[in-house]
Amino acid sequence: MPLTTADTLEILDLIARYNHAIDSDDGEAYADTYTDDGVFQYPRGSARGRRELAELAHEITTNMPGVRHWSSNWIIEGEGDAASMTCYALIKVTDEGKPRLVGSGIYTDTLRRVDGAWKFQRRDIAIDGWSWPHWP
């Protein structure tokens, strides 16, 4: 059965919770947006499973003051309890009181419904522009 509108809206909510968690140094809430064996793959490495994902969220918040993740242009497809998504990412920091746009990229995601809740099984981010000195 194809995804319903309710599924699509739940997946958009998941992205919002993901961005809120990573931007507020809440590693546990960040890890909660993934399946237990979830993977985040970025250009210079990856984090797999709850502990590594929570540590990564903390490392990002620590090194990027006032970080804000913004996503848009969601294209979501799926069937039953499995979905795939592609969307844009913009990443801002507030550096000495000034907002700066530091990153642009595209996510390619695999999602799965576990016990009734949509989760990321894998997120891959392809960065097409990055201008902040720190990259985890």
Q: Footprint of other proteins on this chain (CB under 8 A)? A: 5, 8-9, 70, 72-76, 86-88, 90, 101-104, 128-131
Whichever of 52 and 130 has its CB closer to other proteins, that residue is: 130
What is the C-alpha to C-alpha distance for residues 21 and 61, in angstroms, rounded to an integer?
Answer: 10
Q: Which residues of 34-70 are buried (b: 16+ CB within 10 A; e: fewer)?
A: bbeebbbebeeeebeebebbbebbbebbeebeebebe
Whichever of 75 and 115 has its CB closer to other proteins, that residue is: 75
Whichever of 19 and 35 has its CB closer to other proteins, that residue is: 19
CB of 106 to other proteins, least distance (A): 8
